[in-house]
Amino acid sequence: MSKAPKPRVKAPKSASKGDVVTIKTTISHRMESGMRKGKDGKLIPRQIINKFEALFNGKQIMSANMFPSISANPYLDFDMLVEEAGEFEFKWYDDNGEVYSKKAKMKLKG
């Protein structure tokens, strides 16, 4: 991979208690399946994001274990029930051991 994977997140900046909000995340990543052959005819080794985690104030909202069938630049769209103001943290775990993360704050309305 030539460039470092870049995470992008779309989460609301504010919401009311009791709302269910939608969060959209993606990260630029080739998600090399390990099944493609390179120009030399050899298999290109697998390198994917194998796990994604979404936390709010340190508490897990959801996580996803991903396999090579997931497209490049993995996109995930999911929901959260709003209880309090705080901070999101999103983590992507690469096969190579790297962990990429992104944070976003959310306020309560009113």
Restricted to residues 85-104, the positions that interact with another protein (CB under 8 A) are none
Cβ at position 38, least distance to another protein in Å: 11
Asked if 43 touches another protein (CB under 8 A), the answer is no
Parallel/antiparallel/unpaired status of strands 49-56 and 86-94: antiparallel
What string marks each residue from 3 to 22 as x (binds another protein by CB under 8 A) or -?
A: -----------------xx-
Cβ at position 1, least distance to another protein in Å: 17
Restricted to residues 48-87, the positions that interact with another protein (CB under 8 A) are 56, 59-72, 74-83
Tokens of 103: 């944070």
Start-to-end C-alpha separation, the chain: 45
Burial of 12 (0-12, 13-18, 19+ CB in 10 A): middle
Give the H or E element holding residue 55. strand 49-56
Q: Which is nearer to another protein, 49 or 100 (CB)?
A: 49
Determine the length of the chain. Answer: 110
Binding region for another protein (CB under 8 A)? 20-21, 33, 35-37, 56, 59-72, 74-83
